[in-house]
Chain A
Amino acid sequence: MSVSLTVNGRKRTVEAEADKPLLWVLREDLDMPGTKFGCGAGLCGACTVHLDGEAVRSCQTPIADAAGKQVTTIEGVAMNELGKRVADAWTALDVPQCGYCQAGQIMSATALLKQNPKPTPDDIDGWMSGNICRCATYLRIRAAIRKAAGLPAEMADASALPAIGVSGEQLA
């Protein structure tokens, strides 16, 4: 079928099977490999994108369901102010290890802050628990979300960064 959707503000039309997941349309048909394949089963969050502003797992979203909708991916997340703040916090705190999960983490974190601008540590853990980081950058993910939210670094956040060397702020 032919499907039209808006991706990062740009109108796109693709020819694809109705059940082809948005993930694979993005990666294969639209040449946007930023959205990652981790499990294909809604279990890891690597493929998280925003569909009409809501975080969804693109591996579980048939392209037919995205017809006529607004899709934001990691490639376009910094186009809005909040997404840019999140991506900047990720850079400032040097969150990634391998980096493979981080597109999904950033998309989930941005969706969290959109509906909960000042999340508590429990809010963060609850919301982000759908996103696996196999490298386990969780302490920095928490710290980066707090930073993007303009919340003070906690004791726990401080332990995410080295006592010696450069602090997160100086890195920015």
Chain B
Amino acid sequence: MTQTVALSRRSFLVASMAGGAVLTLDASVVLAAASATAPADVLNAFVRINADNTVTIGAKNPEIGQGVKVMLPMLIAEEMDLAWEQVRIEQTDADEKLYGPQVAGGSSATPRNWIPMRQVGAAAREMLVMAAAKKWGVDPATLSTASGTVVQTSSGKTATFASLAKDAAAQTPPDLAKVTLKDPAAFKIIGTSKPGVDVPKIVKGEPLFGIDTRVPGMVHGAVVKCPAHGGTVASFDDAGVKAIPGVLGVVAVNSGFVPEGKADTLVIVADSWWKASKAREKLAVKWDDTAVTSFSTAKYEIDAAKLIAGTPQTSVFKAGDPDAALAKAAKVVTADYEYPFLAHASLEPQNCTGLFKDGKLELWAPSQAPAGGRAETAKFCGLTPDDLTIHLTRIGGGFGRRLLNDYMVIAGQVAKAMPGKPVKVLFDRTDDFRHDFYRPAGWHRLTAGLGADGALVALKDHFATFGADGKPVRAAQMSPGEYPAPVVPNVDLGVSYMATNLATGWLRAPSSNAMAFVFQSFLDEVAEAAGLDLPELMRRTLGEPREIPGERAKFHTGRARGVIDAVCKTAGWKGREKGRGFGFYFSHLGYFAEVVDISMADGALKVDKVWVAGDIGAHVINPLNAMNQAHGCVIEGLGQAMVGQKIVQEAGAITADNFGDFALMRIDAAPREIAVEFVKTDFPPTGLGEPALPPVIPALANAIYSLTGKRHRRLPLEVV
């Protein structure tokens, strides 16, 4: 996969490998389509045809469990007309110049690659057909392909792709923008269930993950980090640590959180991680943290209460005159909602392996966004980005944690300090909880006004969250298109910011995971005041099918309506019923409506069943994986709401120690049944890693209200 040779922009070359040929596609068009900023003079390599007529396809994106390692090759294989049994999949290295964007985030792989990856496959197929036409001296239009073979039906001539590979590689590559893509009616692979490519290895325990990286001569690093975020190392005494046999030294590094030239992390390097980890108790450190120890959950709560009672510092969206409309409203509904900081808690703790040799840095990185890691690591190591080679490992859970690359930045600096020695840096669970990029907490004061006819005429929110200089911190944004703002005539989405020392970040369905709870729970209150149920309020406010322009994406009211109707039908929704709740949300281009059925047994809340209806466009590329993603989203959302997930801060530091303090949903609390249905609409397919998550949280909160009569407006829900 990596043995590609860049000759010229228009070249399509063959480099001989053991018994095979590399088809290197000129993918400048792929890149142009995928990213306006990508350089135009690059080559791109995805396809290798092997001598036995199997075809190796490069999977370029990081695999975090979302199934992209199968999904992207499916697109190429479809257009190449391969039988799936012929396909072999290999993870590529991180190299955006070769492969285009390589990000596991934003549910973006499907919408970004749907056309470009198919073009890659179609171009390869076209060149194989051209090669056969030339060889046989026939018109290419008389040829067809199937299962990795070119066929001329009239003459009965056939040739395998393998027999044509070298000739195909000598063909002038077609313009990717002009290759003919299949009519979806002819799809044989897209829309069929394909199991995970690594599953046979996973069930045998074969090394796959970043933590499994083993490089000859490798040593191990355990981290000691300033408990209060943003604090730095004032001084340290490593005499006790160095006295331990097997300990090689202590390296002070900047994980990217503190100003350049300062260190916030000490890495103890030893011949075993267990030893390095144990040695931490012998390390005496003085931290310089006085500037950050005043931050705490208790302080945020006091400050937020003051903020939302006052006038918003700024507004993200205003329409009409909400105060006047509220003064005239027949009914006014007001409520406060809030949610806490959250950690990601991916099961594989943060880690990265590095080797610095001859001025070059090689990394084995479980990163969701390796390009960012490359730039940042290069910066902190005093190298240029091109000095880094990054191998992508399988990732034991992303959820957004690994979109930021502190572990890579740390491993790079430690490796640089020990030239020639491969070193794996690994967090333990406590490090992982206490040094995350947290989903930021938020507080909302909402007011809605209903007209005499029950119509929603005014909406105000005062959202208190974290930010500085009038701007939100990462992942604390509120969208001006937050539903129902675009369909209400008088709106003010006001925001106020306060400071935090915590690094914040994107957690699966960022901002949506919180906003869905706030707005869909509040709308359930509004619906009740209007004498409606939430699906009906949604239908009335959505109105006629149309596209509403948005900040990042258009919102189609007809598609929203489609999934609302679908889930109401499959769940047998009959209006407000005890123990049932509904929620809808649009995020990451996906429309999802969900119904949750709950019961109380022995004072404990039980989720009995969840119904999901989703619209992610015309195709569900891999239904088998789609179901798994939908289940994952639903159970993760329920977990955020139900099992006590909350990150607490004291004196600038996070208190969570392990899974005892930050519970994840376990199998005994997971619903027995999750019924998932996809509504197919004539739109290009979009991603599924995230959009099924947000609506389940308000659906649960609304179900609890319907069962107990108590409205829960704070996450995690304290039900019993």
Contact = CB atoms under 8 A, between A and B. Distances in A.
Interface of A: 17, 20-21, 24, 28-29, 31-41, 43-44, 46, 73-75, 77-78, 87, 90-91, 94-103, 106, 121, 124-126, 128-142, 155-156, 159-166, 171
B668 interface: yes
A28 B629 CA distance: 33
Interface in B338-384: 345-349
A88 to B, nearest CB: 8
A138 B667 contact: yes
Interface stretch (B19-27, B151-159, B328-336, B632-640): B632-640
B397 A98 contact: yes
Nearest to B660: A43
Interface in B298-355: 345-349
Contact of B429 (A32, A38, A100, A138): A38
A119 to B, nearest CB: 12
A138 B203 contact: no
Contacts of A102: 202-203
18 contacts: A20-B274, A24-B273, A28-B273, A36-B209, A41-B660, A75-B204, A95-B199, A97-B629, A98-B397, A99-B209, A130-B666, A134-B347, A134-B399, A135-B397, A141-B667, A162-B626, A164-B193, A165-B193
Of A36, A136, A155, A159, the most chain B CB neighbours within 10 A belong to A136
Interface in B206-262: 206-209, 211-212, 214, 220
Given A21-B274, A139-B674, A162-B627, A132 B195 contact: no
Nearest to B610: A159
Contact of A142 (B199, B207, B347, B667): B667
Contacts, number: 211
Interface in B375-423: 394-399
Nearest to B200: A91
B624 interface: yes
Contacts of B620: 164
A102 B600 CA distance: 31
A32 B205 contact: yes
B34 interface: no
Nearest to B346: A134
A34 B273 contact: no
Nearest to B628: A97
A38 B674 CA distance: 27
Given A99-B199, A171-B195, A35 B631 contact: no
Interface string B53-94: 000000000011111000000000000000000000000000
Contacts of B552: none
Given A74-B205, A159-B676, A162-B627, A96 B65 contact: yes
Given A137-B631, A142-B667, A37 B349 contact: yes
Main secondary structure of the interface of B (DSSP, over half): loop
A6 to B, nearest CB: 17
A8 B63 CA distance: 30
B480 interface: no
B624 A166 contact: yes
A139 B667 CA distance: 8
A72 to B, nearest CB: 11
B347 A94 contact: no
B666 A94 contact: no
A23 to B, nearest CB: 9
Given A24-B272, A137-B632, A141-B667, A35 B627 contact: no
A24 B274 contact: yes
A165 B347 CA distance: 30
6 closest Cβ pairs, A-B complex: A34-B205, A98-B65, A100-B396, A74-B205, A165-B193, A136-B635
Contacts of B192: 165-166
B347 A87 contact: no
Given A21-B274, A137-B632, A126 B204 contact: no
Contacts of A32: 205
Interface string B94-131: 00000000000000000000000000000000000000
Contacts of B66: 97
Nearest to B626: A162
Given A43-B658, A101-B347, A126-B668, A134 B627 contact: no
A78 B204 contact: yes
A102 B394 CA distance: 14
B207 A99 contact: no
Contact of B204 (A74, A125, A138): A74
B207 to A, nearest CB: 5
B199 A96 contact: yes
A35 B199 CA distance: 15
Contact of A33 (B198, B211, B428, B659): B211
A38 B673 CA distance: 27
Interface string B257-296: 0000000000000001111000000000000000000000
A132 B668 CA distance: 11
Contacts of A97: 65-67, 628-629, 632
Contacts of B199: 90-91, 94-96, 99
A150 to B, nearest CB: 19
A102 B198 CA distance: 12
B623 interface: yes
B178 interface: no
